[in-house]
Amino acid sequence: MKGLLIVSGLGILAMLAEIFKFKKLLFPLVLLGLVGAYVANFIEWDHSYVIGVFNNMIAFDKVALAFSGVILATAFFWFIMANDYFDNEKTIVDHYSLVLFALTGALMLTAFKNMTTLFLGIEIMSIPLYVLAASKKKDVKSNEAGFKYLIMGSFASGFLLFGIALIYGATGSFDLMDIRAKISSYESGSVPVFLNAGIIMMLVAMCFKVSAAPFHFWAPDVYQGSPTVITALMSTVVKTAAFAAILRLFMIAFGGVSESWSMVLSVIIALSLVIANFSAAVQPNVKRMLAFSSISHAAFMLMVVLANIRSNASLDALLYYSLAYSIGSIAAFSIIYTVTKGGDETFDAFNGLGKRNPLMAACMVVAMLSLAGIPITAGFFAKYFVFTTMIGTGYKWLLILAILTSAVGVYYYFKVIIAMFFKSSSETETITVEMPQKMVMILTTILSLALGAAPGFVAEIFKF
């Protein structure tokens, strides 16, 4: 809870900076605040409320804290990486506050206990992102990205709301616990049909947020058009939050009626795996490639939701996966950000990077290996956890499909590596990296190796 308050407070503080002229201090302040929020999480950990506050509107239980921990950590790195995105004197404050507000929304999504908070969380997270996506005002691509994101986002929230409404109609409540109780109170058969309809619609809406096929269309365009750092934010923080939300929603509210949505979900996963990997394989543009890859990763995480939502194992899996994926992406994006400053976002931008900046190339290799899921990077264990959760279930075909497609996945991740070490580029002067980005690269690389070396801790987190 305190974490949430601190972050939203930071947002407001950022706006005050405009008035009281301490913009320079903002950067350190924000980092400090994030650390503070993190600490707050730790303090709350032991005596974390399982029952929510504010009439059970929101509850920072262990799961919530864990996920918000992931989000805060990612955000921490993100701010360091993106620090020179906030250089423009005029807009610095707005950017800071918007990002922080988005973070607030994300944190809400990890902890909501009520449809209202879910809905508000999603919107609070999305609306600033619509703006940020469009924040390169002179750049038509950026505008278009923001616009598309906005239109499709609100269209999706339309369905979300319709679903909520139906569920409210069926259960007479917005409270997840009540809904769950009500659902379980129905003896089978007498469940009003439009309850399921509502669940499906919410599922659809959430799948849109995590950009699973066939609701993924916005992702590539928006990822490409937005400023790289914002793309990074979307593919890490937003995704993690969305998954925390899905986990919560389906674990608490709809866990009881999984048969009504698991079939649909399996199809969605299969579609996402195929479409994402296949179109990523032929992408010349790195950011788009990563967009598709994020879709396939979403599919992997959804598999956990599908496999067994109620077990600790799947909690571990999802948490670890989002952590590994976020760190990997941050590393990748920080490098892409540096490399593509020239403007060229195709793979050729990486040609000869192995010579031009070995350190960066090495980090990129680790990041790519991690995203591709090769030992002993974090990404490997992430996939490993997914497999372990999946293997018991009846979705063998999905497992096989996942393997086949992840073999395809290796292809496009290695295209980067090949470009870096194999292709030679026209310009040969070394690329210089600013200190902050360098720090992020190194730290994230080390982290993804460390997580890979010692993945045991996640299992220790949830013991209830």
| Contact flag: residue 359 with another protein (CB under 8 A) | no
Instruction: Provide the residue type at 222 as one letter.
Output: V
Residue of 24, 422, 430, 434 that binds another protein (CB under 8 A): 422
Sole window of 61-69, 192-200, 227-235, 322-330 interacting with another protein (rule: CB under 8 A): 192-200
Q: Considering Cα of 20, then 21, then 24, then 27, what sign does the dihedral take? A: positive
**Residues in region 113-132 near another protein by CB under 8 A:** 114-117, 119-120, 123-124, 127-128, 130-131
> Residue 459, interface with another protein (CB under 8 A)?
yes
**Shortest spacing between CB 356 and another protein, in angstroms:** 14
**CA 348-132-144 angle, 5° bins:** 65
Binding another protein (rule: CB under 8 A), the pick from 27, 49, 186, 414 is 414
- Does 441 bind another protein (CB under 8 A)? Our answer is no
Residue 102 phi/psi, 5-degree rounding, is -55, -45
Letters for 197-226 (x = contact with another protein by CB under 8 A, - = none) are x--xx--x---x-----xx-xx-xxx-xx-
Q: 22 by DSSP, 3-state: which?
A: coil
- Site size toward another protein (CB under 8 A) is 123
Binding to another protein in span 302-321, by CB under 8 A:
none
Shorter beta-carbon distance to another protein: residue 27 or 147 = 147
| Angle 363-367-368 from CA coordinates, rounded to 5° | 115
Structural contact between residues 287 and 415, judged by C-beta atoms closer than 8 angstroms: no
What b/e readout covers 122-155, taking b as 16+ CB neighbours within 10 angstroms? bbbbbbbbbbbbbbbeeeeebbbbbebbbebbee
Q: Is the dihedral of CA 239, 244, 245, 250 positive or negative?
A: positive
Interface with another protein, residue 43, by CB under 8 A? no
Binding to another protein by residue 145, rule CB under 8 A?
yes
Tell me the per-residue interface mask from 3 to 42 with another protein, x by CB under 8 A, - otherwise.
Answer: -----x--xx--x---------------------------
- Tell the residue number behind the tokens 């308050």, with chain if given: 5
**In the window 85-114, what residues touch another protein (CB under 8 A)?**
88-91, 94-95, 97-98, 101-102, 104, 108, 114
Footprint of another protein on 272-291 (CB under 8 A): 274-275, 278-283
175 phi/psi in degrees, rounded to 5: -85, 130
CB-based burial label for 464 (10 Å; 0-12, 13-18, 19+): exposed
Residue 446 is given by DSSP the state H
Site string for another protein, 322-351 (x = CB under 8 A): ------------------------------
